[in-house]
Structure 1
Amino acid sequence: MAVEVITTDAAPRNPLFAQGVKAGGFVHVSGTVGVDPATGALAGDTIGAQTTQALANCTAVVEAAGGSKDDVVEVGILLHDPDDFPGMNAAYSQWVPATPPARYAAKLGAVIPGVLVSIRMTAYVG
C-alpha cells in the first residue's frame, strides 16, 4: 500500500509530524490546534475560537488530500478542560456535515500554554 504525506499552507505545520497521511483511501489528520496559519498565533483565547480554527485546519488537510468535510468519518477531540465541552460542542455544531462522523472527546494530556483543544480527523477519499 502506498503512503502519501499530505501538506498544505492552509494549516499549521510542525517538523516533527505530518499534517496528514493518505493510505488505502483514508486520510489521517494529525492532532491540530487552533493556530491561525496566516499569523502563527492562536485564533483566540476562547474554546469556541480555537475549536473553529482547529476544525478549519483539519478540513484544509483533508481538502489538500482531495476530500471535503463530507468525507470525514471520525473526529477526535481533546480538551484541556473537560468543562469546555459545551463551548466546544457549540462551535463544532457549526462545522458538522449533514451526515455526522463518529466522534470522541477526551482530556488533553499534554499541557501546551494557551491551547484549549486539539482535534484530529480521519476521512475516506478512496
Structure 2
Amino acid sequence: MSGSGVLGDLQALSVAVDGGQLRLNGDAANRCAEACARYADGLSRLKGQGRHLVRWEAFGDLASAQQLGKKFSDLATGGEGSFEQVIQQHIDVAMKMQDVFINAGAAYRQTEDSNAGALGSIGSDL
C-alpha cells in the first residue's frame, strides 16, 4: 500500500478497484459498505456530543479559570487538533472506505453480468 497513511491506502484500494485488481463478492462489498456507514453514523453522534464535553462555568469566575475553560473548550471543539476535528477526519475516512466498497461491489456485479452474458451466448451456440 501507499506510504502516505490511511488516505493513501484508500486511494490505492480505489485504484485497485477501478483497475479490476481488488475483487470482493457483491454481498461482502455491500456488508463492508454498510459497516462503514454505521461506523460513520456512530462517529457523527460522538462528534455531536463533543459540544457537551466542557462546561465553562465549572471552572469558576476567575480570569485564569475562564482561560483554562477556554483551553479545554478549544481542545473539544476548537480548530486544528481538536476532538471535533479528529472525529471528522475519521468520519471522512469511513465515508471514503464506504465508497471503495460500493465501487468494488459494483465492479463485481458488472463482471458477473458480463461473464454470465458471455457464457449464455456460448451456450446458445451449442
Q: Give yes or no for TM over 0.5.
A: no
| Structure with greater strand share of residues | 1
Question: TM-score, normalising length from structure 2?
Answer: 0.22
| Structure with greater helix share of residues | 2
Q: Which has the larger radius of gyration?
A: 2
